[in-house]
Chains A and B, each alone.
Chain A
Amino acid sequence: MKTSRVFRGLLQDSSFPSFLMLVLLVIVNAILQPGFFSFQVFRMNFMTFTPLVLVSLAQATVILVGAVDLSLGAGISLVSVVMASLMKDSPLSIISVVLLGVALALFLSFFNGFFFGTIGPPPLIMTFATSTMWFGIALLILPTPGGHISEAYYSIYSRTLAGFLPVPVLVLLVALVFCVGIGRTRAFRHLYAVGGNEKAARASGINVTATKVFAFLVSGVFTAMAALCLVGQTATGDARSGQGFTLNSVAAAVIGGIAFSGGKGNYVGAIIGGIILGLLINIIYFANITSFYQEFMKGVIIIVALLFGAVPRLRRELLRRPEEGRS
């Protein structure tokens, strides 16, 4: 009986439709991309997937608490710019710059979370404002892409450990362990409660402000990891390098079954959503679509992915019960 509950739970999980979509895309990708299942291609793919998945996790966290963070991309750019402008080749310099980058990413998220939690402006507009702030600062520091990233740092990212474990995959595994751990804390449960029904959360004695700040801080951890990976991948500082991540991460989270209204969905969905977007970029590239159509095709496929997610809901609405019909 317990196993059937688990099985039923899997089928009803909010990320299940996106999982089906993922399987489909993997098949398409395998057909189009030569040697898709070879280790080299696998490694290369994950070098680009990992930052996207990490940003999706960051975005998913704030969406779950009922907010959204449009400053994620600009924040990542700012971190990359700061790192590139300060880094020297000495090991001490590398380590301190990396720590500084992490601290900066956490601070940027905390800044958003603190204002959202205490004053409570609409997060969409507030993080839009901070995103232009971050972008402005990044431009001041480094008007054109460049700076210096030590080879000792960026070569790590393309390395393979023990002959079978590429570093990007290792980073994802670390993120996964972090997800599992954080998911079992009390604060994380409260995060769902606040996102699901803020009034109810307050009436249950939950500190809503602290929970919101917590969500942004967790998001900051993922953002920091994403920034470190991106710098490792591009080996440069660029005030525009993170731009694409912002809305891609929102799309990834929603494709992964995370409700934009908050309180519903899980990290598995965010990971799947991130990988789906990564595969998508791959497919469009390898399908030899002229560059004029690439963006268009990407949009079309995202809409298809969203339709996938809507299927269970549409089915339910056709056979709805009165209690559900009212909501």
Chain B
Amino acid sequence: MTVLEAKHIRKFFVGVRALNNANFLLGEGEVCGLVGANGSGKTTFARIVSGLLTPDGGELKLYEKPVNLRSHLDAERARMAMVHQNLSLVPEMTIWENITLGREARGRLAMLNNRAAVEQAQKAMEAIGARIPVHERVKNISPDEKQLVEIGKALAKDPRILILDEPTASLDFHQVESLFRAVLTLKDRGVAIIFISHRLWEVARICDRLVAFRNGETVGELDFAVQPRDEKLIIPLITGQEARDIVRKRSGVREQEISRHAGGGPALEMRHVSLPGRLADISFQLRRGEVLGLGGLQGQGQEEILMILAGYLRGYTGEILVGGRPHALRNTRQAIRRGIALIPGDRQKEGLFLEHSVLSNLLYPKVSMHRGSFFLPRGRYQKLASDAIDSVSLVPPDPRLVVSQLSGGNQQKVVVGKWLALSPDILLLNDPTKGVDVGTRQNLYAIISALAEKGTSVLLYASDNEELVSNCDRVLIVFEGRIVKEMSAEEISEEKLVVSSLNVEHTS
């Protein structure tokens, strides 16, 4: 049975055409992938299907009957649930309150039955193999745990159609595995699932079929029953161009480049840095012009290292040398002054002023560091902004747009772009490509390697191992707050990364 059918769906936002001709079919018990570049309309489509947006045209059928979803409630009544990309959790509430929110169990006199609600929440979390105490407040848990709660919340609705909008973006591969197990169980029960992801290997692995969007239109389909599960077949659908293999520069060439900048010693050095309960005795050097990766499972201390260097975290012991001289990085301002810039992964929270224009977002760091004249040099700043827009290839390239109108991936480009204007010596990247499509990702890393060639040092944390493999000159594996392994350029491979992330090498 076809549970969902969408034909010629159109949706316009102020000045932006989000969907033009979106077509989609979904059968009972089917896992269908939805792929496409940032701004291709995937999330808009998902939001229309789940009743959060009303389409401007087209036809939508649920269970073979035409429907007009006026609100999220209508969709929920049709037993549709969506796992949101921008989390839909209330931070001050506990996990179980969030999971049952909107569908609270009630007992006598229409009073809330909290015991039943807690049980319901626990069951939902167990179904995805998540071990998080449900009494914890959401504001106290980590991003990956929030994502799991979000998934649990959707499952607690006992849906027939489940939309997963980039559910894995903040999960590590263990968590992804348990999510996949849950997806397969649901599929066996006849639940139809739309799986939206930028990680193509995931789509190739878990989906029965996939649909690709480009510029708001359905441009192609792959049926894995007849076609091989090969990422190379997917990429051209998304980009509209033939897949190109990402070529790693030979490590010898990179070594030469790095040694060219060797004068003046390492750009950054950490000596025996510890943070009570989080980091233990971290020591490493970052050479000028080097791209150094931080690998390992999610939440092993990689973020803490970046946060210390960016001046966010205080209370560490040990020594940090910037350009050969010891520096206490007490706040973000000092870090930026020393030429250290952090590109965060959670753009909504820490990277952007969502209600401000692209122009002002791009210029805030520059303005905050401005010295000299009382008035700001407007003309020069506008030039800077348009340069930044060019170098990150923002779509649409309009500095006047309000950032919240941009698609997720383009928002991320703004986050990156705003630091380029400062031309930092040391770039800290905290999972910079979270929720960013293949094309943009390649673009972003092209920018980064160009910067590295010019002598900028890069410290990169990525939850996606593939990114570490294709971009780093060296990788440090962090496990439970310690550096357990260092991999040189010749050693880096995805397989080795996974093995050492688990820190089981010596036993196996």
Contacts and interface: CB of A to CB of B under 8 A. Distances in A.
Interface of A: 5, 181, 184-186, 189-190, 192-193, 196-197, 199-207, 259, 263-264, 318-327
B104 A322 contact: no
9 smallest CB-CB distances across A and B, nearest first, come from A203-B88, A196-B90, A204-B102, A205-B102, A200-B88, A184-B111, A326-B350, A204-B101, A322-B307
A14 to B, nearest CB: 9
A238 to B, nearest CB: 39
A322 B89 contact: no
Interface of B: 52, 72-73, 76, 82, 84, 87-93, 97, 101-104, 106, 110-112, 135, 139, 141-143, 153, 278, 303-304, 307, 312-315, 344, 346, 349-350
B88 A186 contact: no
Nearest to A320: B313
22 contacts: A181-B111, A184-B112, A186-B106, A192-B90, A192-B92, A193-B102, A197-B88, A197-B91, A199-B88, A200-B101, A203-B52, A204-B72, A204-B102, A204-B153, A318-B314, A318-B315, A321-B278, A323-B142, A323-B143, A326-B346, A327-B91, A327-B139
Q: Which of A5, A203, A264 has the most CB of B within 10 A?
A: A203
A200 B104 contact: no
Contact of A197 (B89, B103, B106, B278): B89
Contacts of A264: 92
B91 A185 contact: no
Contacts of A206: 101-102
Contacts of A325: 307, 312-313
Contact of A322 (B102, B153, B304): B304
B392 to A, nearest CB: 22
A192 B97 CA distance: 10
A204 B88 contact: yes
A185 B92 contact: no
A205 B307 contact: no
Contacts of A185: 110-112
Given A200-B88, A205-B102, A320-B313, A186 B307 contact: no
Nearest to B344: A326
Q: Which of A5, A181, A186, A263 has the most CB of B within 10 A?
A: A186
Contacts of A318: 314-315
A206 B278 CA distance: 39
A263 B90 contact: yes
B84 A203 contact: yes
Nearest to B74: A205
Nearest to A263: B92
A91 to B, nearest CB: 32
Contact of B72 (A197, A203, A324): A203
B304 A205 contact: no
Contact of A205 (B97, B103, B142, B143): B103
A5 B91 CA distance: 19
Nearest to B349: A326
A282 B451 CA distance: 67
B112 A186 contact: yes
A193 to B, nearest CB: 5
B301 to A, nearest CB: 10
Contacts of A199: 88
A308 B328 CA distance: 30
Contacts, number: 93
A312 to B, nearest CB: 13
A189 B93 CA distance: 9
A322 B312 contact: yes
Nearest to A2: B135
Contacts of B135: 5
Nearest to B276: A319
Given A5-B135, A190-B102, A327-B349, 18 more contacts: A185-B110, A185-B111, A189-B104, A190-B101, A192-B93, A197-B88, A200-B89, A200-B101, A201-B90, A202-B52, A205-B72, A205-B76, A206-B101, A321-B278, A323-B141, A325-B307, A325-B312, A327-B139
A283 B120 CA distance: 50
Contact of A200 (B87, B304, B315): B87
B72 A202 contact: yes
Contacts of B72: 202-205
Q: Which of A181, A189, A320, A324 has the most CB of B within 10 A?
A: A189
A323 to B, nearest CB: 6
Contacts of A323: 141-143
A260 B201 CA distance: 45
A186 to B, nearest CB: 5
Contacts of B82: 203
A199 B101 CA distance: 13
A324 B312 CA distance: 10
Nearest to B133: A5
Given A186-B106, A264-B92, A326-B346, A201 B101 contact: yes
A276 B112 CA distance: 31
Contacts of B314: 318
Contacts of B88: 197, 199-200, 203-204
B111 A193 contact: no
B164 to A, nearest CB: 15
A207 B312 CA distance: 38
A196 B307 CA distance: 27
B91 to A, nearest CB: 6
A193 B313 contact: no
B147 to A, nearest CB: 13
Contacts of A189: 97, 101, 104, 112
A319 B312 contact: no
Q: Which of A185, A264, A325 has the most CB of B within 10 A?
A: A325
Q: Which of B93, B106, B135, B346 has the most CB of A within 10 A?
A: B93
A203 B135 CA distance: 22
B151 to A, nearest CB: 14
Contacts of B97: 189, 192
Contacts of A324: 139
Contacts of B142: 323
A151 B371 CA distance: 72
Nearest to B145: A323
A186 B100 CA distance: 11
B76 A186 contact: no
B76 A322 contact: no
A201 B143 CA distance: 19
Nearest to A203: B88
Contacts of A197: 88-91
Contact of B313 (A184, A200, A204, A322): A322
